Amino acid sequence: MNNGLLLYCRRGFEKECAGEIDQLASAQEVYGYCVVKDNSGYVNYITPDLAQADKLAKHIAFMTLVFARQMIVVVAKLSDLPSDDRVSAILQYSDNMPLCGDIRVETPDTNEAKELLGFCRKFTVPLRGALRKNGTLTKKEHSKKPVLHLMMLDSGNGYLGYSYPENSSPNFMGISRLKFPSDAPSRSTLKLEEAILLFLPKDTIEQRMHSGMTGVDLGACPGGWTYQLVRRGLFVSAIDNGPMAQSLMDTGQVTHFMEDGFKFKPEKTVDWMICDMVEKPIMVADLMSDWLIKDWCRATIFNLKLPMKKRFVEVYKCLELIESKLQKAGMTYNLQCKHLYHDREEVTVSIERINK
C-alpha cells in the first residue's frame, strides 16, 4: 500500500510541485511528505492514511495548484506485476476503490515513459472489462463518477488510484493537446489558446471574448498571441518595436504601435490585455496589476518568465504582489495561475475584474 496523492507535472518541475502540495496540505491540517525523483514528471505525496488523501483531493481546489497537471488519490503502489496476469494483481486492490465511471491508463510525461503508451492503450481493454465485471467500473462511462487511473512507470510498476472529475483535469495525462494552426505566426499561439480554454469556462468563452471587443497585446511581435484574439473577432492594438505578421495586418483588425510595452497607455479601457514579454517576472506582475487598477483593461492573460532557481518562490512572490495591490485598490477579481502544457520556463496568469 502507498496512500497519498499522485501529482503529474512537467519534467524538471517536481520540486516546485512538491513545495506547493506541502504548503496546501498543511493548510488542510494534513501532514505528510513528498517522494520526489528529479525529471520523473510526477510527485507522490504520502499521507498517513487513505482517508486523508481523499480529503485533500476533495478540499484542495485543483485550479489552485499552479504546477500540478493532475491530482490523483493513490490506492496502491504496484510493484513487479506478473507479465502473464497483470489484471488479477491489480484487481486485488479494487476493494479500496470507489465506483468509477471511466478509466485512464497513463504514463508520466517523459520521453522514456511515453514509449509505454502503446502498451497502455492495449492494456486498457482487458483491464476495463475485468473492472466492470467485478463492479469497480460502471457498465457504461459515467462522467460524474470518479475516474480510475493506472499510471504505469514501466510494464510492471506503477500507481493505482482515482480522481474526482469536478476537481481534476479532464485530459488524458493532464495534457491539453492542441493542433497548431497553419496560419498562426508562431507556436506561442498555443499557450494563449490553452489558457483561454482552461481559464474561461467552455460555455462562457463566446460571451467573454467575442467579435467587436477590443484588446491590447504587449510584446506582440510576430503575433502568435494576437492571432488568438483576431480569430475570435477582437480588434487588437499590437505593441512591439518588432514587425508583425503581414497576415494579421491584412485582417484589418490589428493596429501596430511600435512602442515599448512598459510605456504604452491605451486611450480608453480595453476588454482584454494579453502579454508574453520576456522580462523579469516581478516587473511584469507589477505592470499587469497597474493595468487593472488604472482601468486600462477589464481582464488580462499574461506569462511570467521564471528564473532558473527558486521558481516556486518567484511565482508566489509575484502572485502576492498582484493580490496585495488589487486588494489595496478595493478590487474584486478572479485570479488563476497555471503552468500550462505549452509553457516551458514560465507560468500563465489570468485575472478578470468582477463587477459588483
**Exposed e or buried b per residue across 72-103, where buried means at least 16 C-beta atoms within 10 angstroms of its C-beta:** bbbbbbbeebeeeebeeebbebbebbeebbbb
Q: Is 195 a residue whose pLDDT tops 80? A: yes
How far is it, in rounded angstroms, from Cα 228 to Cα 224?
7
Q: What is the dihedral of CA 331, 334, 339, 343, to 10 degrees?
A: -80
Tens-place pLDDT, residues 145-182:
999 999 999 999 999 999 999 999 999 999 999 999 99
Q: Which CATH architecture has domain 4-169?
A: 2-Layer Sandwich (3.30)
* 292 in Cβ contact with 234 (< 8 Å): no
CA nearest to 2, candidates 73, 104, 68: 73
Q: What is the dihedral of CA 179, 185, 187, 190, to 10 degrees?
A: -60
Three-class SS state of 344? coil
Say what the pLDDT of residue 203 is.
87
Mean pLDDT along residues 348-355:
95
Say what the pLDDT of residue 3 is.
87
How far is it, in rounded angstroms, from Cα 131 to Cα 129?
6
Catalytic machinery residues: 305
In the chain, which segments carry CATH 3.40.50.150?
189-353
Share of the chain above pLDDT 90, in %: 95
User: The pTM is what?
Assistant: 0.95
* 271 in Cβ contact with 214 (< 8 Å): yes
Measure CA of the first residue to CA of the last residue in the chain; give whole Å: 49
**Long-range CB contacts for residues 127-132, cutoff 8 Å, separation at least 24:** 127/86, 127/87, 127/90, 127/103, 128/103, 130/87, 130/91, 131/91, 131/94, 131/100, 131/103
How far is it, in rounded angstroms, from Cα 343 to Cα 295?
28
Q: Is 1 a residue whose pLDDT tops 80? A: no
Tens-place pLDDT, residues 43-69:
999 999 999 999 999 999 999 999 999
In the chain, which segments carry CATH 3.30.2300.20?
4-169
The CATH fold assigned to 189-353 is Rossmann fold (3.40.50)
